[in-house]
Structure 1
Amino acid sequence: MAKRTYDFYPKKDLMLGDKYVLKEYINEGTFGYVWSAIHLGTEELIALKIPKDQERGDHALSEGIKLIGHTHPNIIEINWMGRLDGVFVIEMEYFKGKSLADELCDHGFKSPKTIKEVSLIFLEILEGVKFLHSKNICHGDIKPQNILFSEKEVKLTDFGTSKFIENVFVKTVDAGGTWAYMAPEIAGSNKRYLISDIYSLGVLLYQLLTGRTPHETPIQVINNAPFPKPREINDNISIDMEEIILRALHRNQEERYQSIDDFKEDIIQRVLNTRNNIGTSTIKVIEKSSENDWMQDVINLYHDSQYQDAEMLLRYEKESGNHSQDLIYHMAYVYFNLQRYYDSLNELEKVNIDKVEAIRRDGFKDNVFSLKAKIYIELKKYDEAMMLYEFLLKKDPENINYKYRMAIIYGLVNNPNKAIKLLEEIDEETPGLLYIVKKLGHAYDMKKEFSKARAYFKYALRMDPNDELIQNRLDVYELYLN
């Protein structure tokens, strides 16, 4: 039996197609592995990112397609992405440096830096984010682990990877503490806005100068738990710098910096053009909160698919007096994953959107509707699911997840024409997504347009030669089609 692509594990000297030879392991994140490799065509050393979940690799990183062929000194260049021997890879420039996370400790930088030195590094980061925003791309995961630097250069990586992530609870559990950098308006949702990157940058600057993040757990982010002002931790920080950080961290999006240029200009004029460029060593350390965070515990259980244990934890939290809307939603989410669909619906009916903080309300409501739509699909209540996805698509017409699920519903109600229309829209906007190409093949097969179905299946098989189901279908076509 052929090895499935999602069983793929990289190893030294492995050849991928006739294009790359893997050389050295660089690092591993939640999403995938990064290896150095030799490009056999150019004999140059490049970096390859190889998603762990090969079935959805091209889906999760499709935003990066917009950046192929574009260069910027503060962005890791993406040269190519696609499949070789069925394995999805992203070819990037090789950068000989380290992540910013490797240089940080509980007091900020391991090697003490002046306010000016930190500001200059941060301005380089701002330039990279500004470039992404100019392409209307939200980074979505700004944190020290995704910033690489050397003595002369600072570069962002892993941009655009979170826009299409569906399971936000599982995907945001990693050693990097993604929740700590997440803007409150997108916490616990799969929404991403450019203004949310401004908040994440504020968290990063706070950390570079104090050694900690304002919030550390999901509950602290959602409940806006009080945190020390930067000067309460490090009184070397100027009043102007503190005001800049707190503006970027403003809970209300309208009170934050509205553009990277505004953010950058304040740092240049109020910090760099002054004489207050003293060191950043911590004078006074505030102990980090040890507050127990039920949401982080539940999310950790999601990561290991321990939904029964998650239910018990949520029940205990409820019996302890927690009646928050987030707890109700998580209970519904757990029931859905336990295939207790009616229990999940009953929980969702208890949600009172008006009790959710105003800045989170819109994203929270979309989460409720999206989960409810998935339940309706499982219960074969396709009309109800369709109404919800129509509502969600009207609000967010570019959302691939919503379009894809709407196409699935059209297929389930035997309306392949509408399914094909949506799938072809996705394929035109973001070409070459394997799961879309496969679904188009199945849709045309349902419509009995076998020539078109065969064309899509052949295309899919070129991307994933080990897909036995598609190969079997093509074998049938060869028997009966001229």
Structure 2
Amino acid sequence: MADLTAGIVIGERFRLVRILGRGSYGDVWLADVVDDPDLPGQVALKIYQQPQQNRATRVLLKEAEIALDFEHERLVRVYGAKRIDGIVIMWMEFVDGDSLLVRLGEEETPRPVSLDEILSWLRNIAEGLAYLHIQDPPKVHGDLKLDNVLLDKASGARLVDFGQTRAIEEQFVLTDGAGALSYLAPEIIGKGIEGEGKRYVSSDIYSFGVIAYRMLTGRFPRRTVHEVINLTPFPRPAELNPSIPRELDALVVKCLEKRPENRFATGSELLAATDEVRTSIEITGVERAQLATLAPEPVPTVADELAELASELVEQGKVEEAVEKLEKAMQRMSTSPRVLLLYAAAARTVGKIDAAYLVYGRVIRWLRNNGAGDEELRDAMEGRADVGVRLKRYEEAVKDFSWLAERWPEKRWYRFRHAVALGLAGRFADSIEVLQHLHEEAPPTALVCAKLGFAYMQLSQIPLATQYFNEALMLDQYEPVALFHMARIRAIQGRPDKAMQYLERLRGVEGAEQEAQELSRMLGRESTVEQGSRA
């Protein structure tokens, strides 16, 4: 992905022009079609990140397989998808226009829109849903949200991103909860009357209602994790914005009913109701000026709320409960890096090391894809490096600690951990080189001397190992690594009395009980061997 720049030609078919957007799986580029009479002159290319390629192949080809058959003005056309030049890509129709999210602005600073614009966009979206829902078998979009509605300058609102689209069999299908949390119907997040995790055709209707509510009021109906999970009641749109016509207010409320059966049953039914509202408004002559969308009071973001909750639990010593709540949240939503970092740290505390390692990696990929700087990456890189050592993924830890040491050379701890990781990876000569620099550039420490002694011992350079172990013990007579290995060296040299002195000292080191027990057993064996050899 890092090598893709404007002007590059992929597979002698597409010449990259400029990036249109970035997502969790990769980038979307505008591309010129080099030579294909069946395609328009320019297309949008969805290009997946290299680390995601294996999974991307399955996800993207499934999306393309479903979407290839869609031909409707309200759906962005998908032309094809495959692996080209080792890269998984999908090419689709280029839409010249912003997303509905960009047009409406952020929730904290919503931009005013006219009633005509809202009615037109809502009808466009309903048309797209009606087309999907009349397929045989019916299809749901599954990820309907503001950023998946593009405003084509030539033809209005159009739906894009069919990665969650799937067929509906026998009224509903099971779902994994994928999709943006604020847009998810109660039955998808496990709060439906009929059971947990079921996606109906009318689940798209609920998402439509969320979009309409946001257009009309400047805010989402339920804005926090607590409100979404607990189905907290929300005000009708007209209660927040009295300029909303009564008919339109009623349509939105019906879309947002808790029970799927109480909403419009299909996109076609929704489209008919939308047309009725438009006609009613035209007859009654409602003012067509801009609706007064109000900037709502600031509320905590989903990430803020989750982070605060988890932090409180961790402070109370309830780390396992914090991990459980964060895991449930991450199954239901696309989580922010802040929450993921908090989860990774808590997971490490309760021993979920593998999960922590994967989450740190996820954070790093997200931050890099979104142009984060070194300082923003630092916590995640440090966490992954530490966990990598615990998982014995030493070469990966070497790379992560090297990255940290190069960017913050004044942090001796990073360089020391880099040297330790090199040693654990069996690269003792490289480890010695780093440790020697640390030893020479500042007053020596017992810790660095002990690690130097250990590295030389692994290279069978016993005189040098002894030198550095002795230096470590001069600085700290209870340095455990030096005590352990000096006892071994003296035992092998036929000095069991000296070896036992080191062992007795090691037994007095708090936290070194296991090493002392191991050394005691080892000295017993080595003493026996020594006595046998003398005999």
Task: Report the AA paired with residue 26 of structure 1.
Answer: L
Query: Which residue of the partner structure matches residue 35 of structure 1?
Result: 29
What's the RMSD between the two structures over aligned residues?
Answer: 4.1
- CA drift at 1:258: 0.9
Aligned mates of 1:145, 1:110 — CA distance in 2:
15
Q: Is the 8 A contact 2:64 2:80 kept in 1?
A: no
Q: 2:212 aligns with which of 179, 183, 205?
A: 205
Task: Report the AA paired with residue 57 of structure 1.
Answer: A
Query: Which residue of the partner structure matches residue 286 of structure 2?
Result: 277
Task: Report the AA paired with residue 160 of structure 1.
Answer: G
Aligned mates of 1:133, 1:167 — CA distance in 2:
17
List aligned pairs for 1:75-474, cutoff 5 A. Answer: 75-105=75-105, 106=107, 110=111, 112-114=113-115, 116-135=116-135, 136-153=138-155, 154-161=157-164, 178-187=180-189, 192-274=199-281, 275-278=284-287, 279-282=289-292, 286-290=296-300, 296-297=306-307, 314-316=313-315, 340=351
Matched, 1:54 2:64: no
Indicate the larger mover: 77-86 or 8-17: 8-17
TM-superposition CA deviations, 1:343-367 (whole Å, max 9, x none): x9xxxxxxxxxxxxxxxxxxxxxxx
Give the unaligned 5+ runs of structure 1: 1-6, 173-177, 299-309, 345-482
Aligned mates of 2:109, 2:123 — CA distance in 1:
17
Q: Is the 8 A contact 1:132 1:139 kept in 2?
A: yes
Task: Report the AA paired with residue 221 of structure 2.
Answer: P
User: CA 1:337 to 1:58, structure 2 compared with 1: closer, same or farther past 3 Å?
Assistant: farther
Q: Is the 8 A contact 1:241 1:270 kept in 2?
A: yes
Indicate the larger mover: 248-257 or 98-107: 98-107
Aligned mates of 2:237, 2:312 — CA distance in 1:
35
Aligned mates of 2:19, 2:212 — CA distance in 1:
30
User: CA 1:283 to 1:190, structure 2 compared with 1: closer, same or farther past 3 Å?
Assistant: closer
User: CA 1:70 to 1:319, structure 2 compared with 1: closer, same or farther past 3 Å?
Assistant: closer
Q: Is the 8 A contact 2:13 2:36 kept in 1?
A: no
Indicate the larger mover: 187-196 or 61-70: 187-196
Aligned length: 319
Aligned mates of 1:246, 1:125 — CA distance in 2:
17
Q: 1:13 aligns with which of 7, 10, 18?
A: 7
Q: Report the secondary structure of 2:27's partner residue.
A: strand
TM-score, normalised to structure 1's length?
0.57
- CA drift at 1:32: 2.2
TM-superposition CA deviations, 1:438-470 (whole Å, max 9, x none): xxxxxxxxxxxxxxxxxxxxxxxxxxxxxxxxx
User: CA 1:325 to 1:56, structure 2 compared with 1: closer, same or farther past 3 Å?
Assistant: closer
Q: Is the 8 A contact 1:230 1:242 kept in 2?
A: yes
User: CA 1:244 to 1:324, structure 2 compared with 1: closer, same or farther past 3 Å?
Assistant: farther
Query: Which residue of the partner structure matches residue 22 of structure 1?
Result: 16
Task: Report the AA paired with residue 299 of structure 2.
Answer: S
Q: Report the secondary structure of 2:140's partner residue.
A: coil
Aligned mates of 2:347, 2:9 — CA distance in 1:
38
TM-superposition CA deviations, 1:184-226 (whole Å, max 9, x none): 2212787643221111000000111111111122222111123
- CA drift at 1:317: 7.5
Task: Report the AA paired with residue 183 of structure 1.
Answer: A
State the identity %.
26
Which is greater in Rg?
A: 2
User: CA 1:82 to 1:328, structure 2 compared with 1: closer, same or farther past 3 Å?
Assistant: closer
Q: Is the 8 A contact 1:60 1:163 kept in 2?
A: no
Q: Is the 8 A contact 2:218 2:295 kept in 1?
A: no
- CA drift at 1:280: 4.4
TM-superposition CA deviations, 1:310-366 (whole Å, max 9, x none): 97665458859x999957956999799769579x9xxxxxxxxxxxxxxxxxxxxxx
Aligned mates of 1:60, 1:267 — CA distance in 2:
33
Query: Which residue of the partner structure matches residue 404 of structure 1?
Result: none
Aligned mates of 1:328, 1:54 — CA distance in 2:
25
